[in-house]
Amino acid sequence: MTRSPQDAAVDDEEDDYMSMAIAEPAKTQTESSVQRAARRKREGEERGRAKSKQELKAEEAAAREAALSTAIDSSNKGFKMMAKLGYKPGQTLGKSEGARSEPISVEMREGRGGIGLDSERKRKIREEFEHEAKRVKETESDYRERRRMEEQERRLEGELIGAQKVLQRFDTDAEDLAREEGRPPSKPKLKTPHRPNVLWRGLVQHEIEKEREAKMRRNLREFFSKDSTDGDSDEDEHDRQALGKDLDPLEDLDEEDPELDEFNALPRAERLEKVVHALREQYNYCFWCKYQYPDRAMEGCPGLTEEDHD
């Protein structure tokens, strides 16, 4: 007798069901008498231990925070009175737009300062902090302004020296040309026979001073390196030079020069303006264009100042 496929499938399912492993329930571990005694002793010690101030303070703060964050129950007498007046949960108190929807929060005072004392102290500290911040800000601003002015002065000093050198070259060339042609300079640069144009006289004075210092150092080295057998009773030429007594009288820097002092007393910007103007008027030269024009019209020059050439 042959078995149908359906019967075979049913038999297989019965075999699988019978062969399933059934897990035994996990056995609970029973507490021994020793473990139970240790646990009871530990719990008793925890209950009998007095809590520290920090722990009590933390529990108090937690309980207070939990109470403040919990809404008033509808069974509360105060809530019932407000409900009779028309209050509903979620509404605000008052008619203004900024009416409160929550009670005023409670701020616990940590210190021992009286009412208003801590607020006054905080206000003073805040004012001092703001004053110090303002002072630091002003100091930084003053520092930046001072650096800006110093940089501007350095730039003006470089431009002034450059313009003075150009004017000195033009004046010197004009004087040399007039001397070669046997005629006096058409535009004399000397107010006195031994002093150059005051607009660039400071350059000459500076160069003379440098040469004089170098000459005195050189003469001093030669003076002290002389052989002692030459004698030291009388001052000779080296002695006079080393002591600064044998100098050209035209190089006497101690002589007063009120004209130069008056010019140097002017601001650098004004001195530069005077030199630039002299270059334009006498030689048709624009210091900002760095070009000498063929005539006084100076056609093509944007203007008189540096800003005109930007």
pLDDT of residue 160: 93
∠ Cα 58 64 66 (to 5°): 100
Distance CA 132, CA 143 (A): 16
pLDDT of residue 50: 78
| pTM for this predicted structure | 0.47
User: What average pLDDT values come out for the chain (310 residues) when binned by 10 residues?
Assistant: 53 54 62 85 80 84 81 80 78 65 66 64 84 80 84 92 92 86 60 71 86 84 66 53 49 70 91 93 92 90 87
Residues in contact with 150: Cβ distance below 8 Å, sequence separation at least 6, in sequence order:
none
pLDDT of residue 249: 43
Longest alpha-carbon distance in the chain: 160
pLDDT of residue 162: 93
How far is the first Cα of the chain from the last one, in angstroms, to the nearest whole number? 118
pLDDT of residue 167: 92
Q: Where are the beta strands (DSSP E) in the chain?
A: 285-286, 291-292
pLDDT of residue 217: 85
pLDDT of residue 273: 93
